[in-house]
Chains A and B, each alone.
Chain A
């Protein structure tokens, strides 16, 4: 290898290493802390986890109510993502495919809700949920999650559906399929890469969502994971070790969802879905 090439290669490696340390450093640190006790951590913040306290995981799961938070999160987020995917893709298909009066107006109104910060709506949302008896319930939070993520979902999917050539719909119509069947058997499968993107995005955003959850849920039995982790942050004492363990538990489903759907995502991309 020529010296210039070696220099180029090593510069690249240095830059990449710095970026990796910057991006992954906090994660690795939290992972190490999840295997250490709080007293060990206060003695030395950055030491390696030896001995590794694996027992902290079952402890967090069973004694600190993480099993409840985890299943609450799973129920609420999975339900919200399923509903979002169904409604979002159908709405996006309609906006992209059908010409009807006020199509663009409706699209703009839905899309424009993205510009409002959540703080603006949260007080009125709280009031509405209280009035309808949905405050402090999984159903209430699920509905709110669907509502806040729907505009972005429609926005991402609409642009993808709009790129599907209309000849395909015409061909399916000639082949004898109804509009409903065309959506399920042509549009939806072709749009899978885009749908996978919205699934990942919605899942991660909602899984980590804190603001709406902390305002709308106070009942211990309905808390989601981010709220559960927050419980270890007391006024006097912060159980840093337990917080780290909780974070590691919380992160598992995100990785699983990402791994599964990103595979689908890449598959779809390389298959040249539309062209």
Chain B
């Protein structure tokens, strides 16, 4: 019989080892799933994890994609991780991401045609405000009416998706687009575009901001009072009140920051890689970022690595669909396994497994 025994302090080695172990177990379980689908599991794993970076045939295209995909994931996940640490569960980053993109694009397009260099910064600010405003809805409902922010923020995602659809076919539709849904191609208009900063790296303003946010979050959590209060509120709410932490302010702060970062990710995406507001320009970064945040153990550096890993499975997954015909849902299941194993193995950092002796010697 196994028995779990709580450790007096969380084990440092296990905190580092569990993500690696989770990746390995995901490869094994995912491999079995691919085998059950009649695909060669070794080839599938290689295509997902190795080929996007090192294959001669694909790397030129897929290597820059790594940063393109990881950027928004990291940016959103950093924002979410602050709230998650404080026990504030913003599940609706996808909605804030969409609203940020719409707000940014709308701001820019009202000036069309223009060549002003100030429009793009204005779009960025509008995007941040859009995400922030969308996050304030669940935040204020929570602080004033004690509603559950998980439900409200999640349901607002679907509201945002409807709003996106109406924007793409309505007020943001390209007047010169022969009636097709979708806005003007923002990335082809210089005043609106978020260009690749270094050629063939995938590096754009959003990715740069993601890296900055990692550093800022690290400093906040380790060196600043607000970070301390966030951790305290998440671990021991009563002790946090005793330490003078104002729960209302903390909720507004954490929801606000995560909304701003999600909104920024949205506006950088729609002005860069996605290129336009379309009905489905969002590809679920807001939801995947939740996985990234936990995969990175809510630690800024962990989130950086997790974002890159997650981006890799996205790109590799697409490649595997293309090369082996693995269904998209199997790729999603594969990504889900990663979170599952990580959370399951999390137990090991706080508990140790002991063999229970049967009977009394």
Q: Are A and B physically bound partners?
A: no
